Each structure stands twice: as C-alpha cells, then as structure tokens.
A and B are shown apart, each in its own frame.
Chain A
Amino acid sequence: MTDLLNLDLSKNTEKIIAEYIWVGGSGMDLRSKARTLSGPVSDPSKLPKWNYDGSSTGQAPGEDSEVILYPQAIFKDPFRRGNNILVMCDCYTPAGEPIPTNKRYAAAKIFSNPIVAREETWFGIEQEYTLLQKDVNWPLGWPIGGFPGPQGPYYCAIGAEKAFGRDIVDAHYKACIYAGINISGINGEVMPGQWEFQVGPSVGISAGDEVWVARYILERITEISGVVLSLDPKPIPGDWNGAGAHTNFSTKTMRAPGGYEEIKKAIEKLSKKHKEHIEAYGEGNDRRLTGHHETADINTFKSGVADRGASIRVGRDTEKDGKGYFEDRRPSSNMDPYVVSSMITATSLL
C-alpha cells in the first residue's frame, strides 16, 4: 500500500491531483474532493471552478443541489507530495451569489477596501484544540471512566504521563511548513490532551485561508492516527481549561513609532462593540469565557498589559516599545477566522 501511495507520478506524467477543500453546512465541517489536472498550477485564478452536491452537506435543496466551488488559495499537498496541491475554495450558487455559510466573501470585501489594504493588517492566530480517543470521545491520555491529576504539570510538558499526542502535533508542524502555511509555532496546553499551533503573521484574507487549511491538514492527520479532533471551546466542564483561538492583530500604523496610541484607540473602539463581536466569536463560548482559567468573563470587556485574565492583552514589549500589536483573547477555538479577522479589522479601521 505504501508503495502505491508513494508512487512518483512525475516520472510518468505531467498530470497532478488537486484536492478542493470547502467549509460545509455547519460552518465548521471541512469537506474535500479531488480531481486530476493536466499539469502543475500555482495560480488559483487559473484553476477551474468546480461544483459539489450541496444537498449532502446541508447547503442546498435536493432538487437544485449544485454548489459552485471557486478556488481561492493553493498550498502544496503534504500527503500526496510531488506537484500535487490543496486548494482552499469558497462556495456560490449557480447564479454566482455566495451561499449563506460562505463567510470568506464578505471578509474579502473588507480586506480589499483601500483604507484596509493600505494598512497591511497582520494576524497571528493561536489555534487551540483537543485530541479525543476514538469511539469514547474522552480526551487522549485520560483514563477511561476517570480523570488525570489536576492541571499544572501539562503546559509545555514532556513525558509519557504529561504529553499526549505529540506525534500528531509534530507531524502537523512539518506538514504545514511543507504546504506553505505560515505556521509560527506550537506548544502543549494547560489541559492534558490539548495543544496549540500558531499561524502568522499573515496579511489580510490569507490568515483565514491558512487557518482553515491548517485545520484541514490537522484533521487529516488525526484521521491517520485514529484520534478525534475537537475544536469545542470547553470540551470538559469543570476545573479544566477551555480552548480558544486568540487573535493577534496589528496595522502598519500600529507597528510604526507611536503606534501604541493607535492600538489604544482600536481597543477603545472594540470595547464599544463587545456584544456584537462576542456573538460572532464562536458557538458555546459562554461555557469557556467564565472569568476563570485565564479568560475574561463573557459579559465583561477588560484590557490590560500582560494580563491573561483580560479580554484584550497587550504584551510588555509593545508597551515598552510604544508600538506593536494586541491580542484579542475572546475568540473560541471554533471561531471562523474569516469572520473574526475581518470584524476586528472593520471595527478598528472603518
């Protein structure tokens, strides 16, 4: 089998395989299917549009089921390697309208606004996630029918009794670098079986594309390992940390000397739209944002330097240098990065 999977096609043919990826009807489920192309392609606008059966993903009625896929970003395929590619797509009706679950369309409009484009919005997204044992859906490494010792030893830990699933995390790190995603780091999280990777700094809409494809690669890897991936913001109730997707943000002005003033202004604007943002920051976030476990309470807006209990945290370096970026700690792990990145941008700049 391995020999077949690793056949080097480039010796026999110019043809390549393109895996088209899209977000399904729940807004969180990733779907994909593959097609053969006659030769290598590196520009998404040169890839053919495609379509799929939307009635099988809750995105179209059975009697008019075609949903059109528009290729938006290309990445190298770490599973098939060679010249094969992964293609992040978004979804349209046959008449060319974005379907309701297509959050990329509105985000792309915000990012192409000249005021926004000029400000070169940078994002660093810290994606937390939990690994679960298959069939029982209990976290990886946890005893069946019981609990591990309390949190403390697991954050950034090593050792068979403290770190569960590192092979998945490490394979994912290299696979994302290979694919061309700006993965900037990884670490073990406070809750055992929970991990984090960071994507960024990425400019504009590409942050959303890269996070979605990184999630796709992660779920393909957990599939290989026979482990279940969860992006639930509070997988285990009680004295166990939730999972978030802290979103770090800056503009050209914020990164320039004196930028700290611009940061403070943006935080002020965000404080006035707390409710609107929170509604768009992920389902079930109320179970996670309790004010405990390094979160701020969901009903309160708080910002502070080096304060991990705040809604928005500013790093000590940024305060000291008078310029830099800030961290919105409110988004949950199951947030849509297109929505969150464009919303922070719109509130701060427009």
Chain B
Amino acid sequence: MSSIDELMNLDLESITNKSIADYIWIGSEMELRNKSRTILDGPITDPKLLPKWNYDGSSTGQAPGNDSEVILCPQAIFKDPFRKGNNILVMCDTYTPSGEPLPTNKRFNASKIFSHPDVFKEEPMYGLEQEFTLLQKDVNWPLGWPLGGFPGPQGPYYCGTGADKAFGRNIVDAHYKACLYAGIDISGTNGEVMPGQWEFQVGPTIGISASDQLWMARYILERITELEGVILTFDPKPIPGDWNGAGCHTNFSTKSMRSEGGYDVIKNAIEKLGLRHKEHIVEYGTGNERRLTGRHETADINAFSWGVANRGASVRVGRDTEKEGRGYFEDRRPASNMDPYVVTSMIAETSILWKP
C-alpha cells in the first residue's frame, strides 16, 4: 500500500495553483490552536492579502454559544515546514465581529506600543531565550527520567551529549531546521541544566515580529512533539526541589543603546525597570514565584537587582557591553510561559516611554 508519508509528500505544485494556509491563534489559556484552509489562486506572501477567517469561540472559552464567532486576522506568514511546497503557516490575532480585540488578544496592545513614533524610531531589538521541558506521555514525567524515580543530580546535563545525559535531541534538532525553513530568526539551541530541558533562541528581531516569531516557533515545537508522542511544557518549575526552572530570558536593546555612549542609556533603562519591578513581575508569567527563588541562577521574585555577568540578578549586563560602552541587557525575570507580546512591549514601554 502507499504509505502515509507518500501522501503527505504528494507534489501538488506541478498540478495545481492551490496551496494550504494553516491559521494559528492563541486560545483562552495561552494554548495554541489551528485550522487550515485552501488558498485558490496561487501562493500569497503578504498577510494583508490573506482573507480574515473565523472560528467557534465557544469551543475555546472565548465566546458564548449563541454568539460564537471570533474573527481571525492574519498578521505574519511563515513557510510550512510540515506541508512544504507553497503551503504557509499564518500567525493570527483575534477579534469580536464588531472589530474589538478579545481580552486574550495581547498582540493588539503590543502593536500600538511598537508603532508609537518614539518606540519605532529606537528600533527595539529582542533576543528571546525560550526554555522548555519535554515530558513522557501519559505519566507527565520528564523525558529520560526513570519512572518512579529521579536521575542523578544536575551537573552533567547542561550542553551534554550521550544517551544518559541528553534526552530528546531529535526534537530539538528537527525544530531548529524547521524554524529556519519557516523563516524564523532562530539563532541557536542548547541542552539545559535540568535533564530533559532544552532552550532555543529567537532573534535578534525588531519590534512585534520578535513575538510573532516566538509564538510560531512554539507552534512548530508542539507540532513536532505531537509527532514524537512527547509532551511539551512551558511550566516555569516543572519539578519542585533541586531542579532548575524554565525561563524566557529577554535580551533587549534600542538604537541608542547600540550606539556610542549607549551604556548610560542602558543603565537609565535598568533603573526605570527597577522602579516598576512589581508591575512587570505580575505580567512575566503565571507560577513564576515557584521559579524565582533566588537559587538555581534566579533572583528572588520580590527583589530587583542588576549586575554585570551576574546570573543571580534580575537583569544581567554582559561583560562585552560594559567594556564597549554600548550593547544590550538581559531581563532574566520572565518565565518560560510568558506572553512575548506582553513582555517585549512592556520592556519597550518602560525603557523608552515611561517617565518616573
């Protein structure tokens, strides 16, 4: 019999102009949802030319059953690494039929901040370090960990190799190439301190696109774990005790920070972040208090600190930046389950627009 793979790899381009667009959106609990539609008259590369669509919001906790339509607005297009050919992935945001963004639509507000002229001209640039944990299906215990028990303590696993130290590399490597194929600015990967935990980085990317790309990278990752029968979690502290949590360190710079004398602009921004610590922390991911304990390379959630090369601080500045007098800084507070639309726009807003 034909195999499923042969059917998945059918060459449609030589027989039709049709292509498939996979519309992706964020549900009521930051879970990703998708459905696909056929595009008839040739591939589309501009999101503004893609049709708006809609879905049943009553099935995702985003609308009542008797008025259930939620509108999907295409915002960014990526090549589909699963369907390949001219097929695309489309990152969307969500609106009521009368055009109001849903309460769960965090992109709308972020977009307003990024189009503010003072923010726009500073070319705010982001590098997002997404950590994540892989779990075994049905038992929800980390991949590679013995059932009913624990692996040896942390130490050997960070950037480790070997069947006893690195669990799930095929997922990470497939994801790396798939993201590059899709057109995402994926800049690297590494195995993390906790076994079964990994990290990939997206950036440097300017403005709202950093968040569109991170959400799309998360989508591609969960589609790959689905293929592998492995569970993906962005929980910030998946295993309590002497095991690292998972964060999403956010590296940030503006045009001024990257120019001559930028280090002063950086210090000024960090000071402002310090004054708004509570407001930021509330938006930096649910459950972060289980992770930001002051141990395991984190700063305590209640205290704001910063330092050069200090991984125990809330904000870290690299030695290069200090030496050259310009560069970027790293906000280490965001949890792995943070919403990048919220975090990136808030850092830009506090650093550039906010006056104490």
Contacts and interface: CB of A to CB of B under 8 A. Distances in A.
A316 B226 contact: no
In this complex, which of B4, B7, B223 has the most chain A Cβ atoms within 10 angstroms of its Cβ?
A: B7
A158 interface: yes
A178 B13 CA distance: 10
Interface string B200-226: 000000000000000000010011011
A160 B228 contact: yes
B354 interface: no
A55 interface: no
Interface in A113-172: 143, 152-153, 155-163, 166-168, 170-172
A170 B82 contact: yes
Interface string A303-320: 010111100000110000
A126 B79 CA distance: 27
Interface size, A (range): 35 or more
Contacts of A161: 137, 231
A294 B36 contact: no
Contact of A156 (B18, B33, B66, B67): B33
Interface string B63-82: 00111110000000000001
Contacts of B97: 306, 316
Interface stretch (B53-61, B160-168, B317-325): B53-61
Nearest to A143: B138
B199 to A, nearest CB: 20
A142 B163 CA distance: 31
B10 interface: yes
A42 interface: no
A5 B36 CA distance: 30
Nearest to B2: A79
Contacts of A185: 35-38
B83 A155 contact: no
A177 B58 contact: no
Interface string B126-157: 00000000000110000000000000000000
Interface residues of B, number: 49
A156 B222 contact: no
B49 interface: no
Nearest to B68: A308
Given A170-B8, A183-B38, A158 B223 contact: yes
A153 B231 CA distance: 14
Interface in A275-323: 294, 304, 306-309, 315-316
Contact of A187 (B36, B138, B225): B36
B87 to A, nearest CB: 9
A2 interface: yes
A156 B35 contact: yes
B223 A78 contact: no
A78, A158, A175, A315: which has the most chain B beta carbons within 10 Å? A158
Given A185-B36, A186-B35, A306-B97, A2 B20 contact: no
Nearest to A184: B38
A174 B4 contact: no
**Looking at A155, A159, A168, A186, which has the most chain B CB atoms within 10 Å of its CB?**
A159
Given A174-B7, A224-B1, A160 B16 contact: no
Nearest to A198: B37
A188 B22 CA distance: 12
B30 interface: no
Nearest to A175: B7
B41 interface: no
A173 B36 contact: yes
Centre residue among A153, A173, A183, A308 by max chain B CB count within 10 A = A308
Contacts of A79: 1-2, 7
A244 to B, nearest CB: 13
Contacts of B32: 158
Given A155-B56, A156-B55, A294 B226 contact: no
B16 to A, nearest CB: 6
B225 A160 contact: yes
The CB with the most chain B CB atoms within 10 A, among A2, A170, A182, A304, is that of: A170
Interface string A1-28: 0100110000000000000000000000
Given A158-B34, A170-B82, A307-B66, A224 B225 contact: no
19 contacts: A155-B60, A160-B225, A160-B229, A160-B231, A161-B231, A162-B226, A166-B226, A174-B8, A174-B20, A175-B10, A177-B12, A177-B20, A183-B38, A187-B35, A190-B59, A221-B7, A224-B1, A307-B65, A316-B97
Interface of A: 2, 5-6, 76, 78-79, 143, 152-153, 155-163, 166-168, 170-175, 177-178, 182-188, 190, 221, 223-225, 294, 304, 306-309, 315-316
Which 7 residue pairs across A and B have the least CB separation, nearest first? A187-B35, A171-B7, A156-B33, A155-B59, A185-B37, A174-B10, A79-B2
Interface of B: 1-4, 6-8, 10, 12, 15-16, 18, 20, 31-38, 54-56, 58-61, 65-69, 82-83, 97, 137-138, 219, 222-223, 225-232
Given A184-B38, A187-B34, A187-B36, 17 more contacts: A2-B3, A79-B7, A152-B61, A158-B222, A160-B225, A161-B231, A162-B226, A167-B227, A170-B83, A171-B7, A185-B38, A186-B35, A186-B36, A221-B7, A294-B59, A309-B65, A316-B69
